Amino acid sequence: MDSLHIISWNINSVRLRAANIAAFVEAENPDIICLQETKCLDNQFPVKAFEAMGLSHLALHGQRGGHHGVAIASRYPIEEIYKPGLCREGHARVIAAKIKGLELHNIYLPAGGDIPDPEKNEKFAHKLDFLDRLATHYESVKTDGNARLLLGDLNVAPHENDVWSHKQLLKIVSHTPIETEKLEQAREAGGFADIARLAHRDDQKLYSWWSYRAKDWAASNRGRRLDHIWSNEAALPLTDIDSYKIHLAWRGGYKPSDHAPISLKVRVPT
């Protein structure tokens, strides 16, 4: 084993969609799955289902009340590392681990509500604060030499072609200029490369999320790229950029999440 096949997926309830994950694992044979919006406490996580998938090593960070939650499931032993203090509200939105020498920082960034005004909408203010903390923290560890991926549902579509209509979404939360600028500032501050945009030209439309509200999400195709994989300078030479994939088909099927999983293959650090 000289590479890790890594998945990021906002699953929108791990218990409700454990069967979807099992089917995906059977089809794609990943080594690691980073989940967001697991919506369960750690003692409610479907451990046996993941053991049956061969992903028996787990790092869990759940929350009372069925909100938020992040998890990492792996075929290989997990060394849990620090959780960066990115969420001022103390939500279960960040988990970090080292697997085979590679750091994985799994993040579920706040959606931000509907009104893109931090003075009128506390959820949006929280989102902007999270983005500022993202920049500050990863800039502080930028030169530590560790091979690091930052991945997850970052709830921002940063580029014009990460949304179905740049013009129509400029005042819609997830694509407003203040969000896209702060996300790009955070990425650059941490020395990260946006793998999707290395794998695909900037003029290519890329989406990973489609609203449940659409009668036919595939036909209307009004998507946004909210899910990301970033690689830092130490991990980038190990990254198989051409392996990056948005698994579009898994947005469909029986009781799907509104997000499609995304994946990448990375060589094990030596």
pLDDT in tens, 16-35: 999 999 999 999 999 999 99
All structural domains of the chain with their residue ranges: 3-267
Tens of pLDDT, residue by residue over 120-179, are 999 999 999 999 999 999 999 999 999 999 999 999 999 999 999 999 999 999 999 999
Higher pLDDT among residues 154 and 1, named by residue: 154
Q: What pLDDT band is residue 45 in, cutting at 50, 70 and 90?
A: very high
Residue type, 174: S
43 confidence band (pLDDT: 50, 70, 90): very high
Crossing angle of helices 177-189 and 122-140, rounded to 10°: 20
pLDDT digits (tens, 9 = 90+) for 101-124: 999 999 999 999 999 999 999 999
Q: What is the Cβ-side half-sphere exposure of residue 17, based on CA atoms within 13 angstroms?
A: 27
Whether the pLDDT of residue 14 is over 80: the answer is: yes
Q: What is the percentage of the chain residues whose pLDDT exceeds 90?
A: 93
What mean pLDDT comes out for the span 186-214? 97
Local structure of 252: helix, strand or coil:
coil
**Closest alpha carbon to 102 in 27, 1, 29, 185:** 1
**Distance in angstroms (rounded) separating the CA atoms of residues 169 and 126:** 20
CATH 3.40.190.10 fits domain 3-267: no
This prediction's pTM: 0.97
Q: How confident is the model at residue 1 (pLDDT cuts 50, 70, 90)?
A: low
- Given a contact cutoff of 8 angstroms between Cβ atoms, the answer to whether 204 and 163 are in contact is no
Q: What percent of the chain has pLDDT above 70?
A: 100
